[in-house]
Chain A
Amino acid sequence: MLAATDLHLRLGAADVLSGAHLSTRPAQVVGLIGPNGSGKSSLLRCLYGMLRPSRGAVLIDDAAIGSLPQRAVARSIAVVAQDAATDGIEITVGEFVLLGRHVHRGDHQGFTDDDRLIALDALDLVSLTGFADRNLGELSGGERQRAMIARCIAQRSPVVLLDEPTNHLDIRYQHEILALVRRLGLETIVVLHDLNLASRYCDHLALLDGGRIVHQGTPDDVLRSEVLEPVYGIEVRRLADGRHSYLAFGPVG
Chain B
Amino acid sequence: MTAQLERAPARAPADGGSGWSWSRRPALVALAIGALVSVVVAIGLGPVGVAPLTVIQIIGHHTIGVPGDVTWARTDDAIIWEVRLPRVLLGAIVGASLGVVGTALQALVRNPLAEPYILGVSSGASTGAAAAILFGVGAGLGAHSVSLMAFFGALGALAFVLALARSTGRITPSRMLVAGVAVSYLLSATTSLLILFAESAEGARAVMFWLLGSLANADWSTLPVGYVGMTAGMGLVFWWRRRLDLLALGDETAMASGVDPGRTRLVLVIVVALCVGLAVSLSGGIGFVGLAGPHIARRLVGPIHRHLVPAAAALGALMLVWADVVARMALQPRELPIGVVTGVLGAPVLIALVRKLPHNT
Q: How far is the CB of B357 from chain A (nearest CB, A)?
A: 8
Q: Is the CB of B10 within 8 A of A117?
A: yes
Q: Specify which chain B residues have a CB less than 8 angstroms from the CB of A132 in the assembled complex.
A: 13, 17, 19-20
Q: Specify which chain B residues have a CB less than 8 angstroms from the CB of A79 in the assembled complex.
A: 252, 255-256
Question: Which residues, 54 to 83 on A, are CB-close (under 8 Å) to B?
Answer: 69-75, 77-83
Complex CA gap A155/B245 in Å reads 16
A80 (CB) vs chain B CBs: closest residue: B256
A182 within 8 A of B: no
B63 within 8 A of A: no
B273-313 to A contact mask, C-beta < 8 Å, 1/0: 00000000000000000000000001000111010000000
A201 within 8 A of B: no
Question: Which residues, 126 to 170 on A, are CB-close (under 8 Å) to B?
Answer: 129-130, 132-133, 135, 137-138, 152, 155
Q: Specify which chain A residues have a CB less than 8 angstroms from the CB of B252 in the assembled complex.
A: 45, 50, 79, 81-84
B359 (CB) vs chain A CBs: closest residue: A88
Q: Specify which chain B residues have a CB less than 8 angstroms from the CB of A70 in the assembled complex.
A: 255, 258-260
Q: Is the CB of A89 within 8 A of B249?
A: yes
- Selected interface stretch from A13-21, A98-106, A213-221, A240-248: A98-106
A95 within 8 A of B: yes
Do most interface residues of chain A lie in helix, strand or loop, or is the interface mixed?
mixed
Q: How many residues of A are counted as interface, with CB atoms below 8 angstroms from the partner's CB atoms?
A: 56
- Which of B15, B18, B256, B304 gathers the greatest number of chain A CB atoms within 10 Å? B256
B14 within 8 A of A: yes
Q: Is the CB of A120 within 8 A of B302?
A: no
Q: Is the CB of B258 within 8 A of A102?
A: yes
Complex CA gap A95/B241 in Å reads 13
Q: Is the CB of B13 within 8 A of A83?
A: no
Q: Is the CB of B258 within 8 A of A116?
A: no
Complex partner residue of A91 from B250, B257, B304, CB under 8 angstroms: B304
Complex partner residue of B20 from A74, A100, A133, CB under 8 angstroms: A133
Complex CA gap A93/B304 in Å reads 12
Complex CA gap A96/B248 in Å reads 11
Q: Specify which chain B residues have a CB less than 8 angstroms from the CB of A124 in the assembled complex.
A: 14
Q: Specify which chain B residues have a CB less than 8 angstroms from the CB of A117 in the assembled complex.
A: 9-11
B21 within 8 A of A: yes
B344-361 to A contact mask, C-beta < 8 Å, 1/0: 000000000000001011
Q: Specify which chain A residues have a CB less than 8 angstroms from the CB of B358 in the assembled complex.
A: 88, 90, 135, 137-138
Given contacts A85-B250, A100-B257, contact A93 B245 (CB under 8 A): no
Q: Is the CB of A99 within 8 A of B250?
A: no
Given contacts A90-B302, A91-B245, A155-B257, contact A130 B15 (CB under 8 A): yes
Q: Is the CB of A99 within 8 A of B249?
A: yes
Can you list 26 pairs linking A and B with CB atoms under 8 Å apart?
A: A50-B251, A50-B256, A70-B258, A71-B259, A73-B258, A74-B256, A81-B250, A81-B256, A84-B252, A85-B249, A88-B360, A88-B361, A89-B248, A89-B303, A92-B22, A94-B19, A94-B20, A95-B20, A95-B304, A99-B249, A108-B239, A113-B9, A116-B21, A117-B10, A133-B22, A135-B358
20 more CB-based (< 8 A) A-B contacts, given A91-B302, A117-B9: A69-B258, A70-B258, A83-B253, A85-B250, A87-B361, A88-B360, A89-B249, A89-B303, A90-B303, A93-B20, A96-B249, A103-B257, A105-B242, A111-B21, A120-B9, A123-B13, A130-B15, A132-B20, A137-B358, A152-B256
